[in-house]
Structure 1
Amino acid sequence: MTMAGSGSFRLVWKKTERSVEIMTIQVFSTVTDVSNAAASMVADQAKTAIARHGSFHLVLSGGTTPRHTLERLAEPPYATGIPWNKVHIFWGDERWVPPDDSRSNQHMARTALLDHVAVPAGQIFPIPYRQSPEEAAEGYESTLRRLFGKQPPRFDLLFLGLGTDGHVASLFPGTDAVMEQRRWVCHTQTQGPAADRITLTFPVINRARTIIFLATGEEKAPKVREILAAAGVPPRLPAQLVHPVNGEIYWLLDQAAASLLTEKI
């Protein structure tokens, strides 16, 4: 399967007798095209979820391409075409910074989208800023357990970015959080400013009905190829541990991020 230009293909894996994973990879000419496609998928998934159970549970991601997607959703036809009063908003991860900090994923989502559409305030569930990142993680897990009960939530749509080191959400290579199986939310650390992070863990991420990876730019190409070429190989990167149970994964890539995908993948 050559991915030199725009295109789409679907791969289906039957993991067990009771579990099926479907992966669709789509390559677009530009970052704008990726963002437009992601916004259209949000609208479609919202319609499906609301018809199924009366609400749409959406998990947001930080990053430049996700921001473009949120800005697109704040414009016609999505700003008025999506029934935002039935949308519930969550976050996959957050930096341990105040919510008005420019590095905050919540701040980004509010300025790009939530300040412009009619999601009820009581249906927006940001990761809290508490006295310590550990308390913030405990607080968010408590919120999820209050809302969803004993079993991890089954979000309708969950966005993930892809780090150049293969991390997703704030699950970084070599950290304990990657292997966490009990907690739904935990504190972890990375290098540089705002090193403390709060993140959903894989037991929650992999319960999502649909996961959308957004990856753009040439710097993402090596990891995109490594991840998508690694079927059947023991995972080395956090992104290789994303396997929704009876769910779908969509990879939305621009041509730069897909530039190393070849017929051998």
Structure 2
Amino acid sequence: MARLIKVTYQVWPTAAEMALASARKFAETVETAVAKHGVARLAISGGSTPQATFKLLADPAGPFAKTIPWDKLQLFWVDERCVGPDSPESNYGVARDLLLSKVPIPAENVFRMEGELDPEVAASRYESTLRNVLKLEGAETPAFDSVTLGMGPDGHTASLFPNTEGLNELGRLVIANHVPQKDVWRVSLTWPVINHAAEVVFEVEGPSKTDVLAEVLTGPRDPDRLPSQLIRPANGKLLFLLDEAAAAKLPPAEEAGNGYRVGTLEI
């Protein structure tokens, strides 16, 4: 039986307001980590949900682009599609176009997964990158300051899809995971690595996620079918940023001021 951890969820009226909350969280995490140990190490995800956040962070007229200490940020990826960096499907490529090309983050601080390579080679090379950059020894696991995740309508997160081999990997940091239901390969951090982060933040929006989110957080434990249930950070810091549509079937949250509501669950 897995130990219980507390989940906090913030419910914002719209996806746009959720994206602004996500941008604030990103900025606060970077600033806190830099103040604590001189560098911030964040792992981010792809998909459509983070794109609004990227645009807010990059907006030269906004409150983030000029105040975040970009030179102290080391940016990593949770997962990647097996495509080149210039493909519109590339998680790195989207982040580069919407964010990285518009802010002063040093190129040497950006660590992408090489989706254009053979998946196993890409996974092995990224694991080596993590070990070298983070100076890991032996079986040591990366300790990111924050990992940001999405959730698919099938309950997958990162590129850990239902009933795939990657769900069983406990020893490696990065894997090539075949996804039979899509007939594709993906490269992904493993769930034990994600769970070793100081904090994990899910960003979930829209009515297509309403039912699966309720299942993941309030339904029976079935991580083979709902891989998002594998995410239980070791230090217990798990936050869900949601819009009203995604949160519609969760227990009622309480007004917290500043336009959002907050709830907690034990899972």
TM-score exceeds 0.5: yes
Q: Given the superposition, is the C-alpha separation of residues 223 and 212 from structure 1 closer, same or farther in structure 2, using an over 3 Å criterion?
A: same
Structure 2: any 5+ residue segments left out of the alignment?
Answer: 253-264
The CA distance in 1 between the partners of 2:172 and 2:182, in whole Å, is 25
The two structures have a TM-score, normalised by structure 2, of 0.87
Query: Does the CA-based 8 Å contact 1:94-1:105 persist in structure 2?
Result: yes
Residue 243 of structure 1 pairs with residue 232 of structure 2: yes
Residue 152 of structure 1 pairs with residue 141 of structure 2: yes
Query: Does the CA-based 8 Å contact 2:115-2:187 persist in structure 1?
Result: no
> What residue number does 1:166 align with?
155
Query: Does the CA-based 8 Å contact 1:95-1:194 persist in structure 2?
Result: no
> What residue number does 1:225 align with?
214
Residue 257 of structure 1 pairs with residue 236 of structure 2: no
1:234 CA drift (Å): 5.2
Q: What SS is found at the alignment partner of 2:66?
A: helix
The CA distance in 1 between the partners of 2:55 and 2:48, in whole Å, is 11
Q: Given the superposition, is the C-alpha separation of residues 230 and 192 from structure 1 closer, same or farther in structure 2, using an over 3 Å criterion?
A: closer
Deviations 1:89-123 (A, max 9, x none): 00000001011011000000001100011111111
104, 114, 120: which one aligns with 2:90: 104
Q: Given the superposition, is the C-alpha separation of residues 90 and 222 from structure 1 closer, same or farther in structure 2, using an over 3 Å criterion?
A: same
What amino acid is aligned across from residue 91 of structure 2 in structure 1? N
The CA distance in 1 between the partners of 2:181 and 2:52, in whole Å, is 24
What amino acid is aligned across from residue 31 of structure 1 in structure 2? A
Q: What SS is found at the alignment partner of 2:111?
A: coil
> What residue number does 1:215 align with?
204
> What residue number does 1:6 align with?
none
> What residue number does 2:114 align with?
128
> What residue number does 2:19 align with?
35
1:135 CA drift (Å): 0.5
Query: Does the CA-based 8 Å contact 2:165-2:178 persist in structure 1?
Result: no
What amino acid is aligned across from residue 145 of structure 2 in structure 1? D
The two structures have a TM-score, normalised by structure 1, of 0.88
36, 39, 44: which one aligns with 1:60: 44
The CA distance in 1 between the partners of 2:182 and 2:101, in whole Å, is 27
What amino acid is aligned across from residue 196 of structure 1 in structure 2? W
> What residue number does 2:32 align with?
48
The CA distance in 1 between the partners of 2:169 and 2:181, in whole Å, is 23
Q: What SS is found at the alignment partner of 1:79?
A: coil
Query: Does the CA-based 8 Å contact 1:213-1:251 persist in structure 2?
Result: yes
Query: Does the CA-based 8 Å contact 2:81-2:115 persist in structure 1?
Result: no
